[in-house]
Amino acid sequence: MDTGIQKEQENNFIPLKKECVEAEAADTSEKELKALKLWLFSENIRVETEKKKLQEMQNKYLKERVQFQEEMRLLNAKISASQQRLKQDEMFFEKKMQILKSGFAQLDLDRQAFEKEREQERRRRRRQMEEEDYRSSVSTMEVSILFAGVKNALALKKRYKDLLKIFHPDNIAGDKAVVQEINKEYERLKREL
């Protein structure tokens, strides 16, 4: 009997065992399901958080892009203004350079005219000095030669008048110094005769 009871108990135990195993398996799969749900929930939250971060980064990038484009526009405007100012400065410089060149050319022409005028003045002075040297040479030469051959007072007076007509300062060839020398010689000869 023992064996029969035992068999019967074993037969009753198998379904219980199956139920336990099934209950245990259901319990395990329910735990796994809960764990899976929990994991899915946490992953969903993490993905949503990452989406928000990504959206914030995208918005930040778009703002930076708009700001960068505005800065580029401003820089391009500044560069354009600088280039235009540079062109104006170059044109102004060119005009100044042309004025300076024409000024230097005019100065060169004026210098050449001045040099020419100065050279003419030098020549005129040289001629004048030569004439004065000639006149002074006449005045320093023996004026007695002019009175050579005069033997009496009447001839002396006639020669004196003729010499005054020739060397009077109002004449073209006249010279005051020569006239003074003639006067001295005339007075000397007059006393002698």
Q: What is the pLDDT of residue 140?
A: 46
Confidence band of 79 (pLDDT split at 50, 70, 90): very high
How far is it, in rounded angstroms, from Cα 95 to Cα 110? 22
At 132-186, the pLDDT tens digits run 666 555 554 578 888 888 889 999 999 999 988 888 888 887 888 888 889 999 9
Confidence band of 119 (pLDDT split at 50, 70, 90): very high
Among residues 170, 162, 135, 130, the alpha carbon closest in space to that of 146 is found at: 162
Q: What is the pLDDT of residue 28?
A: 76
Biggest CA-to-CA distance, the chain: 217
Question: Token digits for 63?
Answer: 């703002």
How far is it, in rounded angstroms, from Cα 124 to Cα 9? 164
Place of tokens 């002698």: 192
Among residues 183, 158, 157, the alpha carbon closest in space to that of 169 is found at: 183
Q: What are phi and psi of 132, to 5 degrees?
A: -65, -40
Average pLDDT over residues 63-83: 94
The DSSP-derived string for 46-75 is HHHHHHHHHHHHHHHHHHHHHHHHHHHHHH
Place of tokens 């040099």: 115
Task: Look up the pTM and report it.
Answer: 0.36
